[in-house]
Amino acid sequence: MQNSDEVLSKVPEVTLGFWIIKILATTLGETGGDLVTMGWLHADQNAQNGGYLIGTAIFFAVFVAAVIVQISMRRFNAWIYWLAIVASTTVGTAMADLFDRSLGVGYTGGSSILLACVLCSLAAWYLALGSVNVQTVATPKVEAFYWMTITFSQTLGTALGDWVADAGLGYEGGALVFGAGLAVLVAAYYWTNISHVVLFWAAFILTRPLGATVGDFLDKPVSQGGLHLSRPFASAVLAACILACLLLLPQRAGRHPAATASST
């Protein structure tokens, strides 16, 4: 039974199951985004053909629709929430490629701009509401900041994944780097006094480049260090895994004390 001093969040409780689904969703975002922009619109063959821009517009429309439904829900709904997360990862994939390749700012420039966007989003959220703790996401105003930050973080993660992989580490090396980074954050969570809110957002961002490098490893040509799996097949398998996790893993709304909902 819910404690009268607690408020239910509109986002899931942060558990191991949450992170498993998040990594699967970010990997699906990479393969699904590339399926449209590269497989169907051939933007990988000509970055100036409008494919990345069209893909970004398509995914952004889906993302906005999903977020509108998510915000309109009166309580946490796992299916709607994770649909919005997957939509944010696909739009992040297309948008990062648009920044890095079509607009010509490169991985360094794109990652720097997107990092600034994430930090500004978090700062605006904190200044407006006094907290960036995801367990306080229970009202439309807080949700608006949450999903804005999510979008920037997903896009930043894609750019970071591509940057590290193309810097010489390859997709496997990139996955190991980001996996190691997540392991460090886990250690910091259990054995340091670093703010759990800070660690959450750091982990949330790092799971995206991990998914990006794994997704690229699955569908990129063997000559580029990938397995050259069919993008539709890889995307379908990842989607099936997410559906299975939603059915098998507990998905509960996060809770926070009503009296301290603004704490960081």
pLDDT by residue, tens only, the chain of 264 residues: 445 446 689 999 999 999 999 999 999 999 999 999 999 999 999 999 999 999 999 999 999 999 999 999 989 999 999 999 999 999 999 999 998 888 888 888 888 999 999 999 999 999 999 999 998 999 999 999 999 999 999 999 888 998 988 888 888 899 999 999 999 999 999 999 999 999 999 999 999 999 989 999 998 888 878 898 899 999 999 999 999 999 999 889 987 554 343 344
Using alpha carbons, select from 138, 199, 114 the residue that is nearest to residue 8: 138
12 membership: H or E segment, kind and range: strand 6-12
Helices (H), the chain: 16-34, 51-72, 78-97, 106-129, 140-164, 170-191, 196-219, 231-248
Measured over all CA atoms, what is the biggest interatomic distance in the chain, rounded to whole angstroms?
A: 59
| C-alpha span between 132 and 13 (Å, rounded) | 15
| C-alpha span between 213 and 223 (Å, rounded) | 16
| C-alpha span between 209 and 89 (Å, rounded) | 11
| C-alpha span between 37 and 44 (Å, rounded) | 8
Tokens describing residue 41: 């619109």
| Phi/psi at 257 (5° precision) | -65, 130
Taking only the tens place, the pLDDT of each residue in 99-135 is 888 888 888 888 899 999 999 999 999 999 999 999 8
Predicted structure pTM score: 0.92
Q: What angle do CA 221, 160, 64 make, to 5 degrees?
A: 95
| C-alpha span between 193 and 47 (Å, rounded) | 45
